[in-house]
């Protein structure tokens, strides 16, 4: 008798477990099914969004750790973000400072005030993202830049 009750109990338990496995839906809200093609599409959208935001922020392709050669024309402004390094290779330019100071000329160990001449082959560092940079006063001025910058 006890043996029959055990068999019946195990049978009922088996039917209950089996029915939940048969009637459960794959891809429900709590357990979604995602295909590889859908995942790749979404990842591509995320990559495009990040690239767009980075381009908007810098105004130019990101230079990373490399120095990028940039040709500027008279009247253009190169505005650097905090930590941007600028080396003028040729041409003429003057510094654009802010109320908090100018550009750090690490080659000479000085601070270049607003309107001060930017010397050739001196490394300048923009200390803050507050509009500091250089204003070009001669066509075909070449600078090397490392870091985020905008040209206007």
Summarised one tens digit per residue, pLDDT across range 95-112 is: 999 989 999 999 999 999
Gap between the Cα atoms of 114 and 22, Å rounded: 77
pTM exceeding the 0.85 threshold for the entire prediction: no
Q: How far is CA 12 from the centre of its chain?
A: 59
Summarised one tens digit per residue, pLDDT across range 77-88 is: 999 999 999 999
Identify whether 134 is part of a domain.
yes
Identify whether 48 is part of a domain.
no
Q: What is the pLDDT of residue 32?
A: 76
Split into its structural domains, the chain has a count of 1
Domain that includes residue 80, residue range: 68-151
Identify whether 5 is part of a domain.
no
Identify whether 28 is part of a domain.
no
Instruction: Tell me the torsion sign for CA atoms 22, 27, 33, 38.
Output: positive
């Amino acid at each position: 008798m006890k043996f029959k009750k055990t068999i019946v109990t195990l049978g009922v338990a088996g039917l209950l477990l089996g029915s939940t496995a048969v009637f459960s839906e794959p891809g429900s809200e709590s357990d979604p099914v995602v295909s590889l093609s859908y995942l790749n599409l979404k990842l591509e959208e995320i990559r495009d969004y990040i690239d767009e935001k980075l381009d908007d922020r810098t105004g130019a392709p990101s230079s990373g750790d490399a120095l990028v050669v940039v040709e500027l024309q008279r009247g253009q402004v190169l505005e650097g973000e905090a930590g941007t390094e600028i080396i003028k290779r040729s041409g003429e330019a003057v510094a654009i400072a802010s109320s908090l100071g100018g550009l750090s000329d690490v080659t000479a160990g000085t601070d270049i005030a607003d309107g001060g001449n930017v010397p050739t082959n001196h490394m300048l560092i923009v200390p803050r993202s507050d509009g500091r940079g250089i204003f070009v006063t001669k066509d075909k001025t070449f600078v090397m830049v490392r870091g985020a910058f905008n040209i206007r």
